[in-house]
Structure 1
Amino acid sequence: MRKQWKKIAIGTMIVPALALAGCSSGNNGNNGNASASPSGSSVVSETGFPLTEKPVTLKMFTRIAPANGPFKDMPVFQDYEKMTNVHVDFTEAPTDGFQEKKNLLFASNELPDALYRSGLTQLEATRYGASGQLIPLEDLIDKYAPNLKKLMDEYPEIRSGITTPEGHIYAIPGIVTLGAARTDKKWINQAWLKKLGLQMPETTDDLYNVLVAFRDKDPNGNGKQDEIPMTARAGTPGQGLPIVNLMSGSFGLDQQLGYNINIADDKVEIWMGSDRNKEMLQYLNKLYKEKLLDPQLFSQTEAQYLAKQGSGATGVFFDQTNNNFLPIQDQYTGMAPPAGPHGDRLQAQASPIARDFGAFAITNVDKYPELTMRWIDYFYSDEGSTMLRFGREGENYELRDGVPYYTDKFLSVEGAQGKITPYAGGGAPHLIDDHVASFINPPQVQEAQEKLDPYMPKVRYAAPMFDEATAQKVNELRNDIDKYYEEQSTKFIAGALSFDKWDEFQKTLKKMNIDELQKIYQDAYDTMKK
Structure 2
Amino acid sequence: MKLKKWGGLLLTCVLSVSLAAGCGPNNPGGSKEGETPGETAANLNQTGFPIVNEPITVTGFAGKFFANADWNNIKLWKEYEKTTNIKVQWDTVHKDNLAEKRNLLLAGGDYPEMFYASAFPRADLLKYGKQGAFIPLNDLIDQYAPNFKALMEKYPIIEKGITMPDGNIYGLPTLYDPEFKSVLYGTPWVKSEWLTKLGLSEPQTLDDFYNMLKAFKENDPNGNGQKDEIAWGGVGAAGIVNYLRGSFGLNNHGTSNIYVDSDPESGKVRFIPTDPRYKELLQYVNKLYKDGLLEQDIMSVKSTEVDAKGVEGLLGVVDNVDPVAIYNQEGYVGLPVLKGPHGDQMYTATGSPLGNIGMFVLTDKAKHPEAMIRWMDYFYSDEGIRLFFMGWKDETYKEDADGNVDYVDEIKNNPDGLNLDQAVGQYLIWPGGYYPGFVTQKYFKGAEGLPTSVENAKKAEPHVIPQDKIWPPFNFTADEQSELTGIQTDITTYVDEMRDKFISGNESFDNWDQYVANLQKMGLDRYLAIYESAAERYNQ
TM-score range, shorter chain: 0.7 to 0.9
Query: Quick check: 1:461 aligned with 2:481?
Result: no
TM-score (norm 1): 0.87
Using the TM superposition, name which of 196-205 and 94-103 deviates more: 94-103
Determine if contact 1:123/1:468 at 8 Å carries over to the other structure.
Answer: yes
Separation in 1 of the partners of 2:291 and 2:480?
A: 44
Number of aligned pairs?
490
Separation in 2 of the partners of 1:233 and 1:90?
A: 36
Query: Quick check: 1:254 aligned with 2:251?
Result: yes
Using the TM superposition, name which of 101-110 and 134-143 deviates more: 101-110
Determine if contact 2:323/2:332 at 8 Å carries over to the other structure.
Answer: no
Determine if contact 1:309/1:324 at 8 Å carries over to the other structure.
Answer: no
Match of 1:23 in 2: none
Using the TM superposition, name which of 152-161 and 226-235 deviates more: 226-235
Query: Quick check: 1:421 aligned with 2:428?
Result: yes
Match of 1:269 in 2: 270
**Displacement of 1:444 after TM fit?**
1.1
Match of 1:191 in 2: 193
Determine if contact 2:310/2:327 at 8 Å carries over to the other structure.
Answer: no
**Displacement of 1:105 after TM fit?**
1.7
Deviating 4+ runs (over 6 angstroms): none
Separation in 2 of the partners of 1:374 and 1:429?
A: 13
Separation in 2 of the partners of 1:200 and 1:314?
A: 16
Query: Quick check: 1:475 aligned with 2:489?
Result: no
SS at match of 2:329: helix
**Displacement of 1:305 after TM fit?**
4.4
Cα 1:406–1:173 change in 2 (3 A) is same
Separation in 2 of the partners of 1:141 and 1:435?
A: 25
Residue 460 of structure 2 aligns with an amino acid whose one-letter code is L
Determine if contact 1:183/1:320 at 8 Å carries over to the other structure.
Answer: no
Cα 1:431–1:171 change in 2 (3 A) is same
**Displacement of 1:495 after TM fit?**
2.0
**Displacement of 1:416 after TM fit?**
3.3
Cα 1:508–1:228 change in 2 (3 A) is same
Cα 1:477–1:294 change in 2 (3 A) is same
SS at match of 1:175: strand
Using the TM superposition, name which of 218-227 and 40-49 deviates more: 40-49
Identity %: 34
Determine if contact 1:310/1:324 at 8 Å carries over to the other structure.
Answer: no
Using the TM superposition, name which of 245-254 and 163-172 deviates more: 245-254
Determine if contact 1:36/1:44 at 8 Å carries over to the other structure.
Answer: no
Residue 246 of structure 2 aligns with an amino acid whose one-letter code is G
Runs of 5+ unmatched residues, structure 2: 1-28
Residue 274 of structure 1 aligns with an amino acid whose one-letter code is D
Separation in 1 of the partners of 2:295 and 2:71?
A: 38
Determine if contact 1:227/1:314 at 8 Å carries over to the other structure.
Answer: yes
Separation in 1 of the partners of 2:308 and 2:368?
A: 46
**Cα RMSD after superposing both structures:** 2.2
**Displacement of 1:520 after TM fit?**
1.5
Cα 1:498–1:155 change in 2 (3 A) is same
**Displacement of 1:321 after TM fit?**
5.1
Match of 2:23 in 1: none
Runs of 5+ unmatched residues, structure 1: 1-34, 236-240
Cα 1:97–1:434 change in 2 (3 A) is closer
Q: Deviations over 1:129-149 (max 9, x none)?
A: 011111100111111111110
Separation in 1 of the partners of 2:384 and 2:403?
A: 14
Separation in 1 of the partners of 2:305 and 2:147?
A: 39
**Displacement of 1:184 after TM fit?**
4.0
SS at match of 1:140: helix
Separation in 2 of the partners of 1:187 and 1:63?
A: 32
**Displacement of 1:427 after TM fit?**
3.0
Residue 355 of structure 1 aligns with an amino acid whose one-letter code is G
Separation in 2 of the partners of 1:167 and 1:81?
A: 33
Cα 1:501–1:218 change in 2 (3 A) is same
**Displacement of 1:393 after TM fit?**
2.1
Separation in 2 of the partners of 1:212 and 1:184?
A: 23
Q: Deviations over 1:417-447 (max 9, x none)?
A: 3414332211311101232234431221111
Match of 1:285 in 2: 286
Determine if contact 1:230/1:294 at 8 Å carries over to the other structure.
Answer: yes
Q: How does 1:9-408 map to 2 (within 5 A)?
A: 37-38=31-32, 39-40=35-36, 42=40, 43-177=43-177, 178-234=180-236, 241-254=238-251, 256=253, 258-263=257-262, 264=264, 265-320=266-321, 324-325=325-326, 327-329=328-330, 331-400=331-400, 401-408=402-409
Cα 1:204–1:447 change in 2 (3 A) is same
Cα 1:356–1:246 change in 2 (3 A) is farther
SS at match of 1:93: strand
Match for 1:452 among 454, 460, 465? 460
Cα 1:362–1:518 change in 2 (3 A) is same
Match of 2:12 in 1: none
TM-score (norm 2): 0.86
**Displacement of 1:99 after TM fit?**
1.5
**Displacement of 1:255 after TM fit?**
6.0
Residue 335 of structure 2 aligns with an amino acid whose one-letter code is M
Cα 1:137–1:305 change in 2 (3 A) is farther
Determine if contact 1:186/1:319 at 8 Å carries over to the other structure.
Answer: yes
SS at match of 1:521: helix
Determine if contact 2:389/2:444 at 8 Å carries over to the other structure.
Answer: no
Query: Quick check: 1:496 aligned with 2:506?
Result: yes
Cα 1:66–1:307 change in 2 (3 A) is farther
Separation in 1 of the partners of 2:392 and 2:189?
A: 33
Separation in 2 of the partners of 1:339 and 1:248?
A: 11
Determine if contact 2:186/2:456 at 8 Å carries over to the other structure.
Answer: no
